[in-house]
Amino acid sequence: MDLRRLAPLLACILAAPLACADEFVEGESESFTAGFGLATSDSSGELDSSTSSSGGATSATSGATSTTSTSTSGATSTTSAGSTTDDPELTTGDASTTGDATTGGVDGCPRVRVDLQPGDVLNVRPAPATDNAPIGTLPAGAIVDVLDLVTGEALDGNDEWFEIAGLGLQGYVWSGLVECTTDEPPEPPDGFLLPLECGMSAKVTQGNFGQYSHQGQSAYAFDFSLGVGTPLVAIADGSVFYIYDKTKPGDPCYNGGDQSCINKANVVVLLHGDDTMSIYAHLSEVEVGVGDVVLRGEAVGLSGSTGYSTGRHAHVARQENCGGSWCQSIAVAFEDVPGDGVPKTGDTVTSMNCP
């Protein structure tokens, strides 16, 4: 069974850059954008062939100065469910069962992980062929249960399809874009805890709907005042959906820089079991890789001031799953914050995100 990603497939992907902005103010403005490519089509139709992105970077500015770090973001991104691509070179065979749906899974392959670049999506079909409209899509890194392995339409000579169930979908995915795994998919969060190590305290320099920049896409984000090298931990169990870790010591954008550094902030994005995400930005070091399963309280990276930044701090938010790295922030209440669970600007909070 060939589960590799095929070079001809990748050659057909049309990358569409997503420009986003996360602007931080600490005596002067600073901003952050996480850039990535979105797949738009492929010869098989099994990578979402109508994925689109919309969003332009917005650079929010503030005439006011501040002695603490704050942040904002501007652009939104959208993805849409895929449509098929009719290719006369593709052949369609009658589906026949090669696994055992009654026992679940196949030998050595209880689950599969979607093996795509962040921003790409995998079509889930009602039958193992591309002439059926997708019933939904799975994002990169998603882990779903295997029910069966069948033969169906051959794509680039590979006619193996998995019948899968997970994230509210049951259908078929082409085996060339997934890989077998024994990892368990993250369970839906039973709550969220602060992104700080157990017992650590930090000041919130900008909370929800902050006057400097936390509006629109970043309305529900939080900025924490942290020294460089402070561990940031997962607010809930999740799998690593996206990372950017190319800004290293000695890079002109490592300790903060001008607008030319807007796409150079180190970032980790986790995908949670409820199909929401969380983002951890301006890291000095990333400590996870795409596809890793991270438990609540485990470190994803170290805080810093990478990218378009003038102050040491961390930007953290819960997000919608838009298929990309920078999505609309959504409300979150932390179980270890007294009262309504939502830290306010100026509050000092203490984490109970303990193993």
Task: Give residue 262's pLDDT band: very low, low, confident or very high (50, 70, 90).
Answer: confident
The answer to the question of residue 188 being in a domain is no
pLDDT of residue 167: 80
Least confident of 46-60, 141-155, 306-320, 337-351: 46-60
The answer to the question of residue 320 being in a domain is yes
The answer to the question of residue 326 being in a domain is yes
Percentage of the chain exceeding pLDDT 90: 51
Strand pairing of 201-206 and 222-225? antiparallel
Q: Are 213 and 62 contacting, i.e. CB atoms less than 8 angstroms apart?
A: yes
Task: Give residue 323's pLDDT band: very low, low, confident or very high (50, 70, 90).
Answer: confident
The answer to the question of residue 189 being in a domain is no
The segment with the largest mean pLDDT, out of 3-12, 31-40, 174-183, is 174-183
Least confident of 23-32, 40-49, 122-131, 222-231: 23-32
76/335 Cα distance (integer angstroms):
28
The answer to the question of residue 340 being in a domain is yes
3-state helix, strand, coil in the chain (%, to 5): 5, 35, 65
The answer to the question of residue 168 being in a domain is no
**Tokens encoding 109:** 């392959």
pLDDT tens by residue, 280-296: 999 999 999 988 889 99
pLDDT of residue 104: 58
In the predicted structure, residue 205 carries a pLDDT above the cut 50: yes
The answer to the question of residue 302 being in a domain is yes
pTM for the model = 0.65
Print the domain residue range for 304.
201-350
Across the range 251-255, mean pLDDT stands at 95
181/143 Cα distance (integer angstroms):
8
The answer to the question of residue 9 being in a domain is no
CATH code (residue 205): 2.70.70.10
Question: How many domains would you assign to the chain?
Answer: 1
Give Cβ neighbours of residue 215 (< 8 Å, ≥ 6 apart).
60, 72, 209
pLDDT tens by residue, 46-61: 554 333 333 333 333 3
Cα 141 to chain centroid, rounded: 9
Taking Cα atoms as reference points, which of 203, 212, 205 lies closest to residue 30? 212
- For the chain, give the mean pLDDT: 75
pLDDT of residue 324: 80
294/277 Cα distance (integer angstroms):
13
Taking Cα atoms as reference points, which of 331, 227, 230 lies closest to residue 278? 331
- CA distances in angstroms from 230 to 148, 282, 344, listed in the order given: 45, 12, 21
Top pLDDT among 333 and 39 is at 333
In the predicted structure, residue 264 carries a pLDDT above the cut 60: yes
Q: Are 319 and 73 contacting, i.e. CB atoms less than 8 angstroms apart?
A: no
**Tokens encoding 278:** 């969380």
Give Cβ neighbours of residue 284 (< 8 Å, ≥ 6 apart).
228, 229, 254, 266, 301, 302, 303, 304, 305, 306
Top pLDDT among 173 and 79 is at 173
In the predicted structure, residue 181 carries a pLDDT above the cut 80: yes
